Chains A and B, each alone.
Chain A
Amino acid sequence: MTDVGKTLEIRTSPHILSGHSVDVIMFNVVLALLPVTAFAVYAFGLSALLVLGVAVASCVVTEWGIGRLGGRASTLRDWSVAITGLLYGLTLPPGLPLWMVAVGGVVAVALGKTLFGGLGFNVFNPALVGRAFLQAAFPVALTTWSPGFGAGRFSGLGSSTLTLPFSRPLYDAVTSATPLALWKFDRQASEVGELALGFVGGSTGETCALLILMGGAYLVGRNMMNWRIPAGIFAAVVVLSGALHALDPQTYASPGFMLFSGGLMLGAVFMASDMVGSPMTSAGCLAYGALIGVLVVVIRTWGGMPEGVMYAILLGNAVTPHIDRWIQPVPYGASPRKEPR
């Protein structure tokens, strides 16, 4: 017994931790995205698989490479770049030429994340930075959608997928319009039920609202996502588009259509809720969500493009530091609300 306590470890309290950790949270986000990813491959076939694969690979390699150049320890194991790559891939059209996917992936991580100092310091959602870059650089390719559930989707690739860099992509004869574009340009509404299940055109991962919501529910259940952010977005979208729809159902889409079309679900559940770019307080998260919801409706209704989720979230990210300054918790006892007797 004389040797008891020979090497005592001295640390400051607390001596126990919750077990939550950054890598565990990030890994669970990847898990929550897997059903959505699987559906993307199921719906759009090998092309989507390649788009997603190249997206993840380009992001991971970029983070690894920049880390090497800077002589820093590898940050790949915190899983955050995997999320960026996956989310980025899920926002792209399934037939996008792979070289564009790779370029956007490099931009997403290099400009969207590491330039700011890496995980935790980025102002904007890196996946959306990459996509916004592509949208500006290749507007046509980013709005050309190959249809899902094609007969030969598992046996061959879409003709545009393997386009050589800087050459004009050749598209299959059939491309499909997204429900949002149909509404924007033809005032043609889609069935909300079909939207929710994902049997429509769109980006690889945005079509099946149901699987996205399941992933979100999993994260909320594990306390790895603040439900107030998607809830704020949904509420703002429903209230604003509902009011507009009530005014003039011919011009303005219904709230159900607004909720389930385009990238709203994917954006609200997986991108706006990214912890790094969203406010810290619960009240701040509600305000941030509501702001994004309002912006989505405004851009979709009055903007030049059919979809507005990406820019709405990026703007929300930009406002986050201000929200955190405006909405601070009121410290206990700082403003005695209840004077005894």
Chain B
Amino acid sequence: MRLLGLKTFRNGIHPPGSKDETAGLPIRQFPFAPLLIVPLVQHLGKPSVPVVREGQKVARGECLARPDGFMSVAMHAPASGTVRSIGLTPSITGRMVPAVFLEPQPGSTQEVLEGTPCPVDTAGPAEIIEAIQAAGVVGLGGAAFPTHAKLRIPEGRSVDALIINGAECEPYLTTDHRVMLEQRDDVFMGIRYLLRACGAQRAVIAVEANKLDAAEHLRAGLPDDLPASVEVLQVKYPQGAEKMLVSALLRREVPSGGLPLDVHALCVNVATTAEIGRLLPHGRGIQERVITVSGPAVKHKGNYRIPIGTPLRFLLAEVGVEEDVARVFLGGPMMGAAASSLDIPITKGTSGVVAFDADGAERTHRRVHPCIRCGYCVDACPVLLNPCQLTALTRGEEYGRMADEFHLMDCFECGSCSYVCPSHIPLVQQFRMAKAAVRKAGAA
């Protein structure tokens, strides 16, 4: 036990992990839904431009849409089949977004189409970045930021440490855990591509101490010629946030409003890394991803490789979710978004699907008391803000002061303050609204 000596960041919380039920379950392939809905906006940035038309037959892995400019990625067909239509679909953000509706062809071998390989030893940074964009890779941890955009290091900047994020601090989620155990070689291959692309000299794979088996497995297989190490971090939420990783591993603080790049660091999720290592040697694109399906309402919990575009309704029916499901959210319970409809499809940013029945939902449905100034939120905030002070200011709608004096915009909505608040004040939600008001005022 060297838990006490493990690296970590200041503050943070210890929610129950709820990972035991799925951590030991190997990744299994999920069946195709009768209709797959592939949104053209699955990432931060501009929507992709469809390159197929209605009625067209496509092969699994074939490009469905091309990137529109640099802040955009390609989309690939999750199955061989026919494009039924290109129209609007509800999305997790609550907005309708354009999507390609694809009907998988029964009886097809569903063989994945191969593209032009990107050779890891000879390709230059620009080629790798282009290949990653063409493969449609975005951050699979949940933020869905186009990975290639992170890798293009501006003139005069440099990266000395590439952090591979295998912390997976969200409760319930075990996808990164399984990927590290089952796709070790893909992870290492991905690191090779990433190191070449960003020019860093070393990589650190960060794993929380609740996944020691994965850390050991990675360590045991590290190739001699790969300048990478595995670092075990304390189990604490939100350890997997970029800023928290940078301070835990490198003892550097990302400046307020800045990026890890400002302190010569770059963070890439471990599943994203594995996808890069798996896809690029074959010139393929992302057409499915590993997702943890868990929660009290799910009968067949597990880690599944699910085709992009699988509608929630089909997914939940397959895993035996009963009628009394009260709440479904995409991502983990701390930062995930509640689904307003079951017609929402799985996207590249969906790391988990967690379903609560009525009992589980009730536990978080609590009466709001006045703030008793207990200071729990102050001790929880990983970016060392004063949520108690901020929430007092929201009452007077003093959003400008919140941003200027109390660093509101540094809040990344991890939810730690709301989690610990004994008065059940919806702190994070107030801050989301305040941030939106500040952005609006700034844009006006």
Contact = CB atoms under 8 A, between A and B. Distances in A.
A188 interface: no
Q: What 8 A-B pairs come out closest when comparing CB atoms?
A: A14-B415, A120-B370, A280-B375, A332-B383, A331-B407, A15-B333, A22-B369, A333-B256
Given A13-B428, A18-B13, A336-B253, A4 B322 contact: yes
Contact of A8 (B257, B328, B388, B422): B328
A12 B93 CA distance: 11
A179 B406 CA distance: 48
Contacts of B415: 13-14
Contacts of A328: 386, 389
Given A120-B372, A329-B381, A331-B256, A13 B333 contact: yes
A7 B327 CA distance: 9
Interface in B378-419: 378-379, 381-386, 388-389, 406-407, 410, 413, 415, 418-419
Contacts of B321: 4
A333 B406 CA distance: 13
A9 B342 contact: no
B251 A8 contact: no
The bracket for how many chain A residues form the interface is 35 or more
Given A1-B317, A12-B432, A13-B415, A78 B340 contact: no
A338 B336 contact: no
Contact of B317 (A4, A7, A20, A331): A4
Contacts of A119: 369-370, 372
Nearest to B317: A1
Contact of A4 (B247, B313, B364): B313
Contacts of A282: 375, 379
B327 A11 contact: yes
Interface string A1-34: 1011111111111111111111111000000000
Given A16-B15, A20-B376, 4 more contacts: A1-B323, A20-B422, A328-B389, A340-B263
A67 interface: no
Which of A15, A16, A22, A279 is the most central at the interface, judged by chain B CB atoms within 10 Å of its CB?
A: A15
Contact of B327 (A4, A8, A24, A324): A8
Contact of A5 (B247, B316, B364): B316
A4 B325 contact: yes
A8 B324 CA distance: 9
Nearest to A277: B373
A175 interface: no
B374 interface: yes
B374 A15 contact: no
A118 interface: yes
A21 B333 contact: no
Contact of A336 (B255, B336, B384, B420): B255
Contacts of B334: 13-16
A115 interface: no
Contacts of B326: 7-9
B113 interface: no
B254 interface: yes
B142 to A, nearest CB: 11
B105 interface: no
Contact of A21 (B335, B337, B369, B381): B369
Contacts of A334: 256, 407, 410
Given A4-B313, A18-B15, A338 B251 contact: yes
B317 A280 contact: no
Nearest to A21: B422
B81 to A, nearest CB: 23
A189 interface: no
B325 A5 contact: yes
A333 B373 contact: no
Contacts of A12: 338, 426, 428-429, 432
A280 B388 contact: yes
Contact of B364 (A1, A11, A78): A11
A337 interface: yes
B366 interface: yes
A121 interface: yes
A105 to B, nearest CB: 21
Contacts of A7: 326
A8 B338 contact: yes
Contact of B424 (A21, A25, A329, A331): A21
A168 interface: no
Contact of A17 (B327, B328, B363): B363
B253 A15 contact: no
B341 interface: yes
A332 B15 contact: no
B43 interface: no
A333 B432 contact: no
Given A14-B334, A22-B369, A275-B373, A8 B340 contact: yes
Given A4-B321, A4-B322, A120-B369, A329 B385 contact: yes
A275 B372 contact: yes
A276 interface: yes
Given A13-B335, A21-B424, A4 B407 contact: no
B281 interface: no
Nearest to B265: A340
Contacts of A9: 326-327, 338, 361
Which of B312, B329, B369 is the most central at the interface, judged by chain A CB atoms within 10 Å of its CB?
A: B369
Nearest to A274: B372
B381 A5 contact: no
A17 B13 CA distance: 11
A41 to B, nearest CB: 29
Interface in B328-374: 328-329, 333-342, 354, 356, 361, 363-364, 366, 369-374
Contacts of B256: 331-334
A173 interface: no
A81 to B, nearest CB: 13
A203 B312 CA distance: 65
Contacts of B339: 5, 8, 10
B264 interface: yes
Nearest to A3: B323
